[in-house]
Amino acid sequence: MKYRELGATGIRVSEIGFGAWGIGGDSYGETDDRESKSALVCAFDQGINFFDTSDLYGSGHSETLIGQALSGHRDQVILATKGGALPYGGMRMVQDFSVAHITKAVESSMRRLKTDYIDVYQLHNPALKDLTDDLLSTLTDLKRSGKIGAIGVSLRSPVDGQGILERYSFDAVQVNFNMIDQRLLEVKLSVLARQKGFGIIARTPLNFGFLASSLSNIVFGENDHRRNWPKEQLELWSNSSNLFESLCQQRKISKAQLALQFCLAFDEVSTAIPGMLNTGEVLENAAASELEPLTAEELQLIQRIYQTHAFVVKEVKHREVGRRYSEKIPVPKF
């Protein structure tokens, strides 16, 4: 496993991190806690030291599992969690970024993680209006007290980063980035990272699993968030991994490994955090760090595929509890 600096924090993180949304048990189908903890231990054994979670995932269950599995290795792991998002149904997120809530959330996360400090604490998908002076002052105080090592923000979308990151400084920024979602590059967040010194945590590097497998003709269960996306969007994603098949064959690597290598091709990315539910996925994903980097020609091919194909419908209708609503999603422009 190779390691990189998390921006200017002085924290060294594994190139492949452990995305712990799925092990919460309420967003990627049914899970087995024993299998989840085995995956966490396996990740540690493979050199993964960065574990990213949230108090939202399984209403804290993901944090609890991490605390149980890794408490004996606390000084050897980097724990990152998030706060501000509340349990919700469908695709519309309910949030609370009040000082009272965040202060309590930090304490609750530490208790579940079995630790007295959190290496990276991130605000979970805030809007610009949520970033009040009182909130940021509170986070700074928590950092000074040693309860937080670094202050981060998990962006709802790369586009949100333009307004937030030009106005505020964070140590780490978590954002969607993968072969079929390159908005991070389009809105120049990588340039801003170099200028302001924050580390980028690349989430959804496998695009909800669709870049690791075609996932075609799969019926997602009640507790799988992917069932909320409309059929048209799922069809676009289900065919996407096949577009990169020739590169996988040439390199003799898996689809997931190619997707992770793409994220790691950019120096501003400190770590990529695929979701992992079992030891098999851990071993496959961790191995991506040791592969030969993508060549300039291979990167150009991936970017050309992205530029010449549609990967998001212009108007997506999400299914929410009892009703439907429309949300305009930006279409990449070149």
**pLDDT tens across 250-309, in order?**
999 999 999 999 999 999 999 999 999 999 999 999 999 999 999 999 999 999 999 999
Task: Give the pLDDT band (50/70/90) at residue 325.
Answer: very low
Nearest to 23 by CA among 39, 7, 42: 39
- Percent of the chain at pLDDT above 90? 82
Which residues contact residue 309 at a Cβ distance below 8 angstroms, ignoring those fewer than 6 apart?
180, 240, 243
Residue 328 confidence (pLDDT) above 50: no
Please tell me the CATH code under which domain 3-328 is placed: 3.20.20.100
Q: What is the pTM of this model?
A: 0.92
Do β-strands 315-320 and 199-203 pair in parallel, antiparallel, or remain unpaired? unpaired
Task: Give the pLDDT band (50/70/90) at residue 215.
Answer: confident
Q: Are 13 and 51 in contact (CB under 8 A)?
A: no
> Is 88 an active-site residue?
no
pLDDT for position 8: 97
The CA distance from 149 to 151, in Å, is 7
| Domain range annotation of the chain | 3-328
Segment 107-134 mean pLDDT: 97
pLDDT for position 327: 37
The DSSP code sequence of 174-235 is EEE-BTTB-HHHHTTHHHHHHHH-PEEEEE-TTTTTTTTS--TT----TTBGGGGS-HHHHH
The CA distance from 50 to 36, in Å, is 16
For residue 41, what is the enclosing H or E element? helix 33-45
The lowest-confidence range among 36-40, 163-167, 214-218 is 214-218
The CA distance from 225 to 228, in Å, is 6
| Annotated active-site residue in 28, 57, 121, 306 | 57
Which residues contact residue 300 at a Cβ distance below 8 angstroms, ignoring those fewer than 6 apart?
none
Which residues contact residue 180 at a Cβ distance below 8 angstroms, ignoring those fewer than 6 apart?
207, 211, 237, 240, 306, 309, 311
